[in-house]
Amino acid sequence: MALSSSSSLQPQLGGCGILGVGIWLAVTQGNFATLSSSFPSLSAANLLIVTGTFVMIIGFVGCIGAIKENKCLLLSFFIMLLIIFLLELTVVILFFVYTDKIDKYAQRDLKKGLHLYGTDGNIGLTNAWSIIQTDFRCCGVSNYTDWFEVYNTTRVPDSCCLEFSENCGLHSPGTWWKAPCYETVKIWLQENLLAVGIFGLCTVLVQILGLTFAMTMYCQVVKADTYCA
């Protein structure tokens, strides 16, 4: 029982950590929102808060089920973990199958989002683009000329400038970053693929352990009830 209780506590503690990071991001980086115009609420903070809350609820169900040796709660915990595991597996498979289509849709959606840059009520999107272009030394989604359609003139945001100064985006293209942000960020993610892979593997192992211990505990309770009967 101790092993089962600790295994069900793992998702709950992990959920607390994810929720905490999400709340911290929302409080300290509240102005850093999503870059997507189609999904304005799809920010890192919101995703972490929702995920953390969901994981905490599942962990709570498993923990109570293990402590009380309740068959219904243990089975519910197992089924919820299994559904999440299968959903994650499905998302990963679909991502690799439709990588090209996802790439095209993402770039198209990001370019639509550029038109919201600097407009009222979109300070989060504006700050997000400014931070990305400054940190990754890039400009635009696929090219710095993406901004020409936004401003209807040969101009880019000041965050595209090699040396930042007020209204430097009005200067000649020779003073701007030339690298496309989409490809630059994509290359950065590929270079850090090992870290992402290790995180994903650890997540899968924790879920498999949770599934194993939940089913083991459930079988023990069923056997105990049958023996007592």
Model pLDDT, residue 4: 47
Model pLDDT, residue 14: 59
Helix residue ranges per DSSP H, the chain: 2-28, 44-68, 71-97, 99-114, 123-135, 146-151, 181-191, 193-228
**Which domain does 67 fall in, by range?**
9-138+179-228
Question: Does a structural domain hold residue 184?
Answer: yes
Question: Does a structural domain hold residue 173?
Answer: no
* Residues 59 and 8 sit within 8 Å (Cβ to Cβ): yes
Which pairs with CB-CB distance under 8 Å and at least 24 residues apart come from 23-26? 23/49
Question: Does a structural domain hold residue 106?
Answer: yes
Question: Does a structural domain hold residue 145?
Answer: no
Number of domains in the chain: 1
Model pLDDT, residue 37: 62
Question: Does a structural domain hold residue 29?
Answer: yes
Quick one: how far is CA 128 from the chain centroid?
Answer: 15
Quick one: how far is CA 95 from the chain centroid?
Answer: 14
Model pLDDT, residue 229: 53
Model pLDDT, residue 147: 96
Model pLDDT, residue 5: 47
Question: Does a structural domain hold residue 63?
Answer: yes
Model pLDDT, residue 101: 92
Question: Does a structural domain hold residue 164?
Answer: no
Question: Does a structural domain hold residue 40?
Answer: yes
Tens of pLDDT along the chain (229 residues) come to 444 444 455 555 556 666 666 666 666 655 555 666 666 666 666 777 777 788 778 878 878 888 888 888 888 888 988 888 898 889 889 988 998 898 899 899 899 989 989 888 778 788 889 989 999 999 999 999 999 999 998 999 999 999 988 889 998 889 999 999 999 999 988 888 887 788 778 878 878 888 888 888 888 888 877 766 5
Model pLDDT, residue 2: 42
